[in-house]
Every structure is written in structure tokens, then in C-alpha cells.
Structure 1
């Protein structure tokens, strides 16, 4: 019997354990190096098949019209690929979202939602795309989408799409939401942005982990100084969380994180969070929670 719905599909947040800007291509895109790490905190999506070929987002997302949502745009791309491969229209799908990740937080929320939608619809529609094909489909919409479909902690290069799996120690993170939305374009267009950090290798990152327990202790985030200058709440969050360890901004901001070896250490920090701040803890994820679930259609193979 054909499955008609999927409920409680996780769309985990990601952290950039470091983020270096190593150059700029002639087309203006920046050349990056980073390690992406998923954590067990994020949005949840619910999917129900339709019979009329429509793709609908049933949940209102303030500031994001339905037609502009990465979820909807990604599903339209998958529907077009389905029709090309199978010679008939895709069945259509309804999407509900339990949205908790902040926009402009550097946690990859929109990209993670889109990746989960692609994996779920590929499964429900029996579209038959393999993992690398879904990654290629999502890349034009956002450089983070392929990572979530890749589904493992990854050393990333290029604009973020060239991925190699990398092992990092299990740990707990405390993440502070500064309460501001940081537009990525404003950070990357700043004249003050460092764009010439010397490239590193995956071996450099792995060797560093041998001598320390903090996965966020390698390198730096080249975007952090610009974001902290333009958005003072980011600087304040870094200063506050920095009392407890190596605090660092993720992505282009605004959220700030610090790694801890145990949950009890993370709980101790959370117990000291002032009432004016929003903070939470999350455990590192070695693999995407959907990796072992959505096998049909070759999503992970």
C-alpha cells in the first residue's frame, strides 16, 4: 500500500564549527571552508499526499510568502523532475511546519526545512532520486541544502557544496539566540570582511580534535567580527557565553554557541542564563535523523 503521509519529520539546526572565507570567485560568490554539525534541535514538518498535483504550505510563516518559501520552491523543482522522469505529474503534497528555529540565526532553518521536504516527498512520491541527485536539485536554492541531504557531519568547501564526511566527538552545545535577524547579504558585502584566510585541510581539523575536546575550538568564524559590529546583540551574546568556554557565532549570525563535553555542563550554563536572553541546549548529531527512515527511492543510498 502506498504511504500517504509522514508526520514529525525533523529538520535539525546546523552549527558551523568554524567558517573561513578563503577567496572570491569572479561571479562574486565567496569561497568558504567550514565544518557543518547538526544538532538535535530544530523544526518539524508534516506531509500529506494530495491527488491534484498541487504543492501547498498550510502553515503561515511570518515574513515568508508561500511562493517564496524554500520548501515550496524545492518541492516544485522535485515535481518537475518527477514529471521528466515518469512522464506524468507528481501527486502533489501538503506541508505543515512546527517552526522553532529563528530566521536570520545562522542555524540553516530554511535550508534544513527544504532538505527534509525533498527527502520526504521523494519518499512519498516514490520519485526515485538518489541522495546525490537530491543534493544537486537543492543546491541552486541554497548552499546549505546539500549538506542536510548529505546527512553527516561534513567538512565543506567551495560555496559550501563540496562535502566530505568528518568525525567529531559527541558533545552538547548551548546556543544563545541574540534576538536579531542577521541578513547574510549584509555580512558578505561588508568591506570589512576578511576574505583571504589561508585554506586548511580536513586533516588539519581532525588533528586539532585529537588534542582538545571542544569541536568548536578550531579556526574561527570570519563573519563574526562584521556581524558583531553591525549587530551589538550578537557581540553581547558572544561576551556572555564566552564566560563559560570558546563562544562562537554560527554561519553569518546571529546565534552563538559553545560546546561542552557533558549535558550537566550545558545545564549548568543554562541555569545562569538571564531572563532577557533566549538559550537552549542540544546534542550533536552524527547523522540526519531521517537517514535510516527514508530508504525507499534511494534517498540515502
Structure 2
């Protein structure tokens, strides 16, 4: 457990994810879309630090991605306090590295790391399954990060099938403009995508150990229509290989065969863009914290 000795903060990562593909295959009666996707953990991480308080207060410092009352870390901490009957509190400090509104899962990952960290710091003793149930009340992607493995995702995000993926490098570009997940799904017209592939056997996503190139992101078109920087980033990444938008956008990624060549290309990208070269992660850095609970 990495500790900042000067302030007794425990320093922990919250990794990003990419959607290797995202297919929307229907809609429930409550309006939520049904999807099939492949979520892969990657090495781009937010930095979170935690310090236990005995007074029960939850204090949030550092970078703020939203209003304090809507902050997912605060909501996660208070939910764990309430459900586990914890009387302790915490200072939660966040240093954002994952762009907001990028489809990289940064806010959900921050919430997941908060639940995992405070479960241990407070001695709450909740299992992985317990924390995943709590995470689902915070956001559809939070259980994935607590699950700790790259996974096929179905339903509205609640059905996870862990999968082992080969080591890969990716170039990721966030083109300086965030995308709204609710708006992206609202704009998507399921009836206008009759050719959208429905995957009955998800293992068929791979051929010779590589992801099939005919898989896609159904939200890419609608987000590109409203955020022109997205197709610009996709075209730019096309120099390196097949590019795809992740999640509900607005970040794009491409798997790399040559990391050095990619570095040279990304150095010439527009100044307003944030560019990263990341590697795949086999498991969440904190996954072991929940293995024996």
C-alpha cells in the first residue's frame, strides 16, 4: 500500500478502459439501451489518495470533475459508509489524468477505486461481489472496474464475462472536447442501424488471436456528427492503424504495431489534443485486495 509519509495519504491508481467495440442491440422498456461490448483495462490512470478520518466526514480535495455534490468519489464513500455501517470518514484527493467526457471510464474508475480503498482502510470487509452491487448503484461501468478484469459486457452493463486478452499497445487521442453519454444514446436511432452486428457467441469476436476488424462502435457516427473533432482524431489515428472511438466518445484509439513510430506521429498532433500511448492491463492494480474477502 503506497503511503505518502508526510501526510499519511495512501496513494492508489484508477485505470482507464477502452471499448474495443460497442454494439447497441435493443432497448429495455425503461428506455435503457442493451449493448454488447468488450471493455479492456489500460495503463492510463487517475491518481487517488486517501487519508482516514475518525470524525466520519468525507472531504474531497484536488481536481474536481463535477460539482462536489455530484462527485462520484464522494457518492461512493458515503454509500459505503451507509451500507457497511462505517463511522470513520476520509479525505479523498484526486489528480485527474484521464480526460473527462472521453469514453475512457475515468469517473467510474475513480468511484471503483474509492470503494476498494475505503473498504480496506475502514476495515469494512465487503466482498468483491458486495462492492460490485454497490458500484452498480453509482454507474453502469463501476462494477467492471471492481471486477478487475477485461470483460465482455452485455445487458445495460451489468453482465460481465472476464476474458484474457493479448498484450497490446494503443495510441489514444482525446480531441479536447468532451462527449455527453446521455446525449449520445438519445441521438442513437436503433432502427437506422439494421446491419448492426448482433453477437450470439462472443468468442467469435477473435480470429487468430486478433479482434475482428468488422466490429465497430455504434455511437461513433452520432457523436461524430455533433463533435467534428472526433472524425478528425479518427482520421489522424488512421495513419497508425484501424481507429475506433471508445465508449460514448470523444476519445479515439488504435492498436499499435510500432510504438516508436506512433510517438513520432502523436508529437505532431494538434496542440489542443491530449495524446497517450498506453498498454493493456491483465487486471486492475487493486484486484488482489478483494481476492480473499
Among 41, 52, 55, the alignment partner of 2:58 is 55
Residue 199 (structure 1) aligns with: 198
Alignment of 1:1-301 (within 5 A): 7-61=10-64, 64-83=66-85, 89-192=86-189, 197-200=196-199, 201-205=201-205, 207-208=206-207, 210=208, 212=210, 215=211, 217=213, 219-292=215-288, 294=289, 298=290, 301=293
Alpha-carbon distance between aligned partners in 2 of 1:103 and 1:24, rounded to the nearest angstrom? 26
Cα deviation 1:83-137 (Å, max 9, x = unaligned): 1xxxxx4211110011121111101010000000000000001101110110010
Alpha-carbon distance between aligned partners in 1 of 2:188 and 2:16, rounded to the nearest angstrom? 29
Aligned CA distance change for structure 1 residues 262 and 168 (closer, same or farther; 3 Å): farther
Aligned CA distance change for structure 1 residues 137 and 276 (closer, same or farther; 3 Å): closer
Deviation of residue 82 (structure 1)? 1.4
Alpha-carbon distance between aligned partners in 1 of 2:27 and 2:267, rounded to the nearest angstrom? 42
Deviation of residue 216 (structure 1)? 7.5
Q: Greater CA deviation, 261-270 or 74-83?
A: 261-270
Contact residue 5 and residue 124 of structure 1 kept, 8 A: no
Aligned CA distance change for structure 1 residues 223 and 90 (closer, same or farther; 3 Å): same
Tell me the number of residue pairs that the alignment of Structure 1 and Structure 2 aligns: 285
Alpha-carbon distance between aligned partners in 2 of 1:27 and 1:195, rounded to the nearest angstrom? 21
Aligned CA distance change for structure 1 residues 290 and 204 (closer, same or farther; 3 Å): same
Deviation of residue 299 (structure 1)? 5.7
Contact residue 58 and residue 94 of structure 1 kept, 8 A: yes
Contact residue 216 and residue 246 of structure 1 kept, 8 A: no
Alpha-carbon distance between aligned partners in 1 of 2:292 and 2:266, rounded to the nearest angstrom? 36
Contact residue 63 and residue 96 of structure 2 kept, 8 A: no
Deviation of residue 14 (structure 1)? 0.6
Deviation of residue 203 (structure 1)? 1.3
Contact residue 188 and residue 222 of structure 2 kept, 8 A: no
User: Which runs of structure 1 show a deviation greater than 2 angstroms over 4 or more consecutive aligned residues?
Assistant: 3-8, 191-199, 215-218, 261-278, 298-301
Contact residue 171 and residue 262 of structure 1 kept, 8 A: no
Aligned CA distance change for structure 1 residues 211 and 283 (closer, same or farther; 3 Å): closer
Deviation of residue 8 (structure 1)? 2.4
Cα deviation 1:35-84 (Å, max 9, x = unaligned): 1111111201000000111111122415x12121011111111101111x
TM-score in terms of structure 2 length: 0.91
The alignment partner of 1:94 has SS state of strand
Aligned CA distance change for structure 1 residues 58 and 204 (closer, same or farther; 3 Å): same
Residue 86 (structure 1) aligns with: none
Deviation of residue 189 (structure 1)? 0.6
Alpha-carbon distance between aligned partners in 1 of 2:173 and 2:108, rounded to the nearest angstrom? 20
Aligned CA distance change for structure 1 residues 25 and 268 (closer, same or farther; 3 Å): same
Instruction: Name stretches of at least 5 consecutive residues in structure 2 with no aligned partner.
Output: none
Aligned CA distance change for structure 1 residues 69 and 241 (closer, same or farther; 3 Å): same
Cα deviation 1:158-191 (Å, max 9, x = unaligned): 1111101112110111001111111111111115
